[in-house]
Structure 1
Amino acid sequence: MLGSWQAKLVNRIEDSTVRTLKMQRDCVDFSSNDYLGLARNPLFQGDLMSIVLKYPSALKGATGSRLISGNTRTQEEVETFLAQRYGVESALLMSSGYIANLSLVSSLALRGDTILVDELIHRSVHDGCQMSAATKWKFRHQDLNHLESLLKKARGQIWVLVESIYSMDGDYAPLADLIDLTEAYGANLIVDEAHAVGVYGNGLVYEQGLMSRVFATVITFGKAMGFHGAAVLASQELNDYLVNFASPIIYSTGNSDLMALSIQAAYQFIDKNPTLREQLQQRIMYFNSHLKRTDRKVLFSAIQPVIIPELNKLKSTAEELERAGLSVYPVMPPTVPVNTGRLRICLHTHNSFDEIDRLTTIIKEYL
């Protein structure tokens, strides 16, 4: 007799939604989050090599959590660099955006509190909610009227969590309106900037001059920065609290100095190469012009979803693209809601116009 966990796997195999690990193929990249191409940029790689040669000790591991043996002067200097760049009191480095969201939600939202999350927010926030004793409610994606109806009923300390750009839909959150609404109800707003940092300067919260009006911002470096890691930008008091009460931080091995130095180098490289963002926007506009897309919610986003609800059709489209040497990731339920399966197309500075021509030609055959 199958155990419950085995039955779940069998069900996924039978409905053709099973996930498997695959080796990266030599295809044209329309699937990674390397929006500005830093992960493959030889000039940026040269900068990283210079760091290694100048600071060979940065290659070693942290050897323990930051509370035991994993904290270094280098990490604190990079945190100071980030805090000054964003004009906040404090920045706290972590190993990933997943860990950052897990840390914030699980430690801040206490029994009797209410967590309100956009229904399409990243899985890390939902998992953080599972670690919390607070009440969690989801509001309809980008629906501020629904959010306000929940704010009226919420009890205790209220926490509202959104993304500035959503990872599967590529659409923008109405940040100024969200802030006005949460301030009116005394709620704390936390914004995940994973897909905005780098692509839109320091991220949409910063670029719109809203840093002082959000409770905390999560910035990550595994997308446009071409590396990995994350940071929470907030008050010194909040980050002191996280160090004391956030289990994912307390019980995880710290980061290497190489990670911290590479994050700083990525910001400096992007500052020196402003044309990277311009090149990306050119490719986004070119893609949308070919498919005649006019929805302003995603018109300037590096993430361009093409909805294909029928799973067999979605798979056959992805397979055809792969045969053509184009890497596009098909996203199926349960990652996205039922009947919203899609090709999650990511555009990059390193995509040529000819490659975009090949991509859109095949897509149009299946739509």
Structure 2
Amino acid sequence: MWNKLESRLKQRQAQDLIRQRLTLESGQDTEVSVNATHYVNFSSNDYLGLASHPKMAETMISAVKRYGPGSGASHLVVGHSKEHNLLEEELAEFVGTERAVLFSSGFMANYGVLTSLFDRKDLLVQDKLNHASLIDGGRASEAKMLRYAHNDLNSLQRQLKHQVDTKIIVTDGVFSMDGDLAPLPEILSLAESSQSQLMVDDAHGFGVLGESGKGSLEYFELEQGRVDIYMATLGKAIGGYGAFVAGKSTLIEALIQFARSYIYTTAIPPVVAAVNREGLRLVQSEPELRQNLQDNIQYFKQLAEEARLPLMPSDTAIQPLMVKKSDAAIRISQSLRDRGLLVVAIRPPTVPENTARLRITLTANHTKAHIEQLIEAIKDNIQVIP
């Protein structure tokens, strides 16, 4: 076994695909410290800057005094607290569904849905660029899984012609590595005309998109009830940790009873649930954070266009700069780091072959000076891009 693992690691090293962990010595923010060096952070999913919001810290301090640091058990034993219960109720009310249920992570939520609700008579039809948790959940499911070309409605329609008991379309709302949105109005129309169900993973849309931050569905002015299964995470725009699934009461009860990734894991600590509740309140009470983020996105795109940078099409906080080759992506990332800018290179297998990129993420707390500094540094390295 060890020889085989060593061989695999050496192969990945030779292909410039070894990933390295960064150890932050500061809290999550637009400016962070790594190995005693200060960086402007353009790699965080903390889109609204809530992870460093003083009200979040105050809530955590207060909650830990009441509940302590741990939850002690799974939800179905004695790990389900009042804070969990209130958070589930508030999330369901916010997105407009009958109920919601918490999971310890987005990966566990997606895996739990796809492995517990469907059997071998059912069909999962997934976008090829869906998050790994959706793909892995589909592979582990008893249902048959097919994948359609990214955001290609014709490809999706062809896959939906199969005759099975239940067909469910599964898509990200915002694609995490490309930053583009799924064409949800058209996908919904296809789902309804083919008598299929729809699951949306809105990890990167929830809290950010839509007039009130309800996510991708609100962005497209779609009613929440038209989607059968809605999943979103709490560790991005909300600034906390965990995930939830929302929908009809029958769906939620089925997950509580059958989803092994829910049943057989320790609940997130009550203190974290309390912090998530505060994050949800801030999303609703401080809409200026979403406006700041949108202003930063537009300013970045304007400067990038003027500099003729090879950005991938995206109107969200995720702004990928296409580099193609992994070694070039690493070199540019390191050069930016030498100038105090943290922009992580994304390479296969996270993205397809020959699509390595710098995944630039913007937040509400970035300043115009931060963005201008980044654009100038990229312009100085543009010759590295093949």
Same fold (TM over 0.5): yes
Task: Give the superposition deviation at 1:27.
Answer: 0.8
Partner of 2:104: 95
Say which SS state the counterpart of residue 69 (structure 1) adopts: helix
- Residue pair 1:172, 1:298 contacting (<8 A) in 2 also: no
Task: Give the superposition deviation at 1:158.
Answer: 1.1
Counterparts of residues 173-322 of structure 1 (less than 5 Å): 173-200=182-209, 201-207=213-219, 208-292=221-305, 298-322=313-337
Say which SS state the counterpart of residue 219 (structure 1) adopts: strand
Partner of 2:365: 350
C-alpha spacing 1:327/1:296, structure 2 compared with 1 (3 Å): closer
Write out per-residue CA displacement over residues 226-247 of structure 1, whole angstroms, 9 at most, x where no aligned residue.
1111110011111111111111
Say which SS state the counterpart of residue 262 (structure 1) adopts: helix
Partner of 1:15: 15
Task: Give the superposition deviation at 1:111.
Answer: 1.1
C-alpha RMSD of matched pairs (Å): 2.0
Say which SS state the counterpart of residue 198 (structure 1) adopts: coil
Partner of 1:326: 341
CA distance in structure 1 between the partners assigned to 2:86 and 2:303 by the alignment? 46
Partner of 1:359: 374
Task: Give the superposition deviation at 1:213.
Answer: 0.5
Write out per-residue CA displacement over residues 276-315 of structure 1, whole angstroms, 9 at most, x where no aligned residue.
1111111111110111179999443100000001222211
Report the TM-score when normalising by structure 1.
Answer: 0.94
CA distance in structure 1 between the partners assigned to 2:309 and 2:376 by the alignment? 18
Letter in 2 for 1:345: I
Partner of 2:54: 42
Task: Give the superposition deviation at 1:4.
Answer: 3.3
Is 2:139 aligned against 1:134? no
Say which SS state the counterpart of residue 191 (structure 1) adopts: strand
Task: Give the superposition deviation at 1:19.
Answer: 1.5
Task: Give the superposition deviation at 1:220.
Answer: 0.8
CA distance in structure 2 between the partners assigned to 1:300 and 1:349 by the alignment? 15
CA distance in structure 2 between the partners assigned to 1:166 and 1:237 by the alignment? 28
- Residue pair 1:332, 1:342 contacting (<8 A) in 2 also: yes
Task: Give the superposition deviation at 1:274.
Answer: 1.4
CA distance in structure 2 between the partners assigned to 1:236 and 1:340 by the alignment? 41
Letter in 1 for 2:299: Y
Instruction: Select 2:71's aligned residue among 62, 81, 84.
Output: 62
CA distance in structure 2 between the partners assigned to 1:122 and 1:45 by the alignment? 30
Partner of 2:27: none
C-alpha spacing 1:278/1:295, structure 2 compared with 1 (3 Å): farther
Q: Which runs of 5+ in 1 are unaligned?
A: none
Counterparts of residues 110-129 of structure 1 (less than 5 Å): 110-129=119-138
Write out per-residue CA displacement over residues 132-154 of structure 1, whole angstroms, 9 at most, x where no aligned residue.
12111111110011000010135
Q: Which runs of 5+ in 2 are unaligned?
A: 25-33
Identity, % of aligned positions: 34
Partner of 1:78: 87
CA distance in structure 1 between the partners assigned to 2:144 and 2:12 by the alignment? 30
CA distance in structure 2 between the partners assigned to 1:87 and 1:134 by the alignment? 29
Letter in 1 for 2:380: E
- Residue pair 2:322, 2:358 contacting (<8 A) in 1 also: yes
Partner of 1:5: 5
C-alpha spacing 1:17/1:278, structure 2 compared with 1 (3 Å): same
Letter in 2 for 1:139: Y
- Residue pair 2:311, 2:322 contacting (<8 A) in 1 also: no
